[in-house]
């Protein structure tokens, strides 16, 4: 999978915001791999977290976005995958640090607690911020269970 392809998934609470984010990313030249959901109908977040996390897990260097009401359930699900570092972010500063210090590869957003403007700011920061490496590399190497 190309590095400029971003996989995205959500539950029903994140559906509307996901649509806005997809358009925003496409306008910036990214290709988006939409893993669903595809309506406001109530669904289970795990059914959409696993496909995004699997794509990120199996394609090093790629990144994804997940959304659900609080961001918690969908992020917890994604983080069950080895090599996935899903960061639940609620400000652009947190999104920036998630990339700089944690080499996060999935941005998770709490759709019911942020505005679309805040979401787009976090998306922009997340995808334009590089991992600092250095002292942080050793720390992220200790994340996976062995």
Catalytic status, residue 101: yes
Mark whether 68 is an active-site residue: yes
Residue 53 has which token pair?
């996390």
Q: What does DSSP say about strands 63-68 and 106-110: parallel, antiparallel, or unpaired?
A: parallel
Identified catalytic residue from 50, 68, 81, 89: 68
The token duo for 141 is 């190497």
| Residue pair 108/78 in contact by the 8 Å Cβ criterion | yes
Instruction: Report d(CA 98, CA 106) in Å as an integer.
Output: 9
Residues with active-site annotation: 68, 101
């Amino acid at each position: 999978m190309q590095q400029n392809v971003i996989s995205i998934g959500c539950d029903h609470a994140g559906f509307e915001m996901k649509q806005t984010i997809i358009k925003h990313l496409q306008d910036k030249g990214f290709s988006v791999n939409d893993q669903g959901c595809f309506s406001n109908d109530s669904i289970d977040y795990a059914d959409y977290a696993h496909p995004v996390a699997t794509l990120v897990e199996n394609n090093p260097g790629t990144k994804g976005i997940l959304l659900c009401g609080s961001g918690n359930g969908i992020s917890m699900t994604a983080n069950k995958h080895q090599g996935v570092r899903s960061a639940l972010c609620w400000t652009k500063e947190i999104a920036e640090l998630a990339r700089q210090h944690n080499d996060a590869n999935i941005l998770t957003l709490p759709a019911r607690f942020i505005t679309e403007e805040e979401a787009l700011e976090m998306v922009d920061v997340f995808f334009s911020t590089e991992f600092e490496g250095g002292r942080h590399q050793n720390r992220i190497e200790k994340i996976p269970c062995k």
